[in-house]
Structure 1
Amino acid sequence: MTDLRPSADWLAVLAALTAEIREGVLTPGTRLATEPALMSRFGAGRHSVRRAIAALEAEGLVRTRQGSGTYVREAPVLNYRLSGRTRFSQNLLEQGREPSGRVLGVEDTAAPPGVAEALRLPPGEPVFRVRHLGLADGVPVDLSDACYPARRFPGMAEAWAGAGGASAVLAGYGITDYRRVSSTVLARLPSAEEARLLDQPAAQPVLVVRKVDADTAGVPIAFSETLWAGQRVQLLVDHATREESLHVDR
């Protein structure tokens, strides 16, 4: 029987398959449907299907195994070490990954009770809240909300403009070294907005790390909650020392 459906443009095939990969409908390691099946599904010619698959492969989303088929590529997992002097850029560079990121917003706000306690501030003390998206090789891996005491860091909103990250901003205030003094690790499902920013399905869990950083005198300088993309990141925890403690919520 002749298929009378109009032929789909290869870009339409590409867009549909890209969306299914990005949204987790086609998970890493999944084998794509055969050429005939894709042709039937999209009402497309063989040339259009092959061109769409070639584009997916060029973008690094799929890989073809000779004689086996085409599979959704499994991105290398980032091993992120939690230790006393964890630094995002250094962590990635040591694994041959390219670190980057962008500030999503900086606001002056009153410290919520938990944040005030962590930073040893009076309830409602002003803090700067910085929201930041971290990327590895251009792919989102973490979304963080960090709070800094406004009294200690005046003008921090301006300092973050064009800055190369937290370490660079803190160095501008004379803090060239600081340590993580506590971490709490848990898992949950992201909100729709969090999933969108991390470019992952909302049904896929994220790893959440709440931490406190302190200067060399032991005075807290930052409290943050960071969401890590669950399928892209593996957290490695150094054994706790006298100078730091780790709590894992199950």
Structure 2
Amino acid sequence: MKSFERVVRSAPETMTKTSLPADWRTVETCLTAEIRNGRLSPGEQLPPEPALMARFAVGRHSVRRALAALQTRGLVQTLQGSGTYVRRTELLGYRLSERTRFSRNLLDQGREPSARFLRGAELVAPPEVAEVLDLPPGARAYNILRLGFADAVPINLSNAWYPARRFPGLLEACQAGGGASEVLAAHGVDDYLRLRSTIVTRLPTADEASWLDQPATHPVLVVRKVDADLSGVPITCSETVWAGERVQLLVDNERPPESKGRAHQEMTDVDR
């Protein structure tokens, strides 16, 4: 009689129902094979836990351990309240330019942008923030933490600072689910430019990995940037942590010709 080990090894990897006992490693192996051979395609939702338990004749603990192993390897992602999905293999190309805008960046690629306000506060600006925003010592600033999504998948975590005196009401607007752009426009900043961007890579903190729903062993991309109004006065600085396995950053060295013309006209209008 064949040993149990030999039976498991000879079992088809893409079987629809397992008639023999299996442990979490067998569940992981079979699901890995189905992801690799395309039976489970990128973005597809895996069957719910009860269905996997019935298929492989295992308990809930074995299914969850197998899914955790797949997630650690970067093959699937589990979205709270939604389910477990095969990770998309294509990277989102996020462009960094003089006029970088999150929503427009994603919409241009056929992705649905959204954001979630996580927390915010009005604080005395730390010295390094005050220096970047050209604020006097003791000036207050809003600190806003938001999570950005593409097609409901988390892709970035933004930690931004804004001068509180110049933009009163910004914190309340963000807490209510609105964006900062409306408040900026209400205070005369209809348009703004990127002064500089600094890009580094590192491993995420435990909180960052949790928010971005990625393994703590996978690197993230970090963009530190400063934006200014059209007269060159800084209006915000931020550090944005991007999920490195889902996003690639594309740096545009020059503005498109039509953008240059528009910027020139806008700056001329401001000078007037």
> TM over 0.5: same fold?
yes
Percentage identity across aligned positions?
52
Distance in 2 separating the partners of 1:232 and 1:137: 12
Contact 1:160/1:169 (8 A) holds in 2: no
Which of 231, 237, 240 is residue 217 of structure 1 equivalent to? 231
| 2:74 aligned with 1:27 | yes
One-letter amino acid of the counterpart of residue 154, structure 2: P
Contact 2:173/2:179 (8 A) holds in 1: no
Aligned pairs (5 A) from 1:59-74: 61-62=85-86, 73-74=87-88
The 3 A distance-change label for structure 1 pair 103 and 174 is same
Aligned pairs (5 A) from 1:1-250: 7-9=57-59, 12=61, 14-22=63-71, 24=72, 26-28=73-75, 61-62=85-86, 73-239=87-253
Distance in 1 separating the partners of 2:74 and 2:22: 29
Higher share in helix: 2
Larger Rg: 2
3-state DSSP class of the match of 1:228?
Answer: strand
Distance in 2 separating the partners of 1:240 and 1:130: 30
Higher share in strand: 1
How many residue pairs end up in the alignment? 202
3-state DSSP class of the match of 2:214?
Answer: coil
The 3 A distance-change label for structure 1 pair 98 and 13 is farther
Instruction: Report the Cα offset of residue 161 of structure 1.
Output: 2.8
Contact 2:117/2:177 (8 A) holds in 1: no
Instruction: Report the Cα offset of residue 85 of structure 1.
Output: 0.7
Instruction: Report the Cα offset of residue 223 of structure 1.
Output: 0.6
Contact 1:163/1:169 (8 A) holds in 2: no
Distance in 1 separating the partners of 2:165 and 2:223: 25
Runs of 4+ in 1 over 6 A off after TM superposition: 2-6
Instruction: Report the Cα offset of residue 59 of structure 1.
Output: 6.0
Contact 1:104/1:132 (8 A) holds in 2: yes
TM-score (norm 1): 0.72
Distance in 2 separating the partners of 1:20 and 1:175: 48
Instruction: Report the Cα offset of residue 8 of structure 1.
Output: 2.0
One-letter amino acid of the counterpart of residue 92, structure 1: L
3-state DSSP class of the match of 1:61?
Answer: strand
Instruction: Report the Cα offset of residue 227 of structure 1.
Output: 0.4
Residue-by-residue CA offset, 1:110-140 (whole Å, 9 max, x unaligned): 1112111110011331100000000111111
Distance in 2 separating the partners of 1:83 and 1:176: 17
Over the aligned positions, Cα root-mean-square deviation in angstroms equals: 2.7
Instruction: Report the Cα offset of residue 14 of structure 1.
Output: 4.4
TM-score (norm 2): 0.67
The 3 A distance-change label for structure 1 pair 5 and 83 is closer
Segments of structure 1 that go 5 or more residues without pairing to the other structure are 30-57, 63-72, 244-250
Distance in 2 separating the partners of 1:124 and 1:205: 35
One-letter amino acid of the counterpart of residue 61, structure 1: Y
Instruction: Report the Cα offset of residue 60 of structure 1.
Output: 7.2
Distance in 2 separating the partners of 1:168 and 1:14: 46
> Which piece of structure 1 moves more, 194-203 or 164-173?
164-173
Contact 2:122/2:143 (8 A) holds in 1: yes
3-state DSSP class of the match of 1:21?
Answer: helix
Q: Which residue pairs with 2:11 in the alignment?
A: none
One-letter amino acid of the counterpart of residue 21, structure 1: L
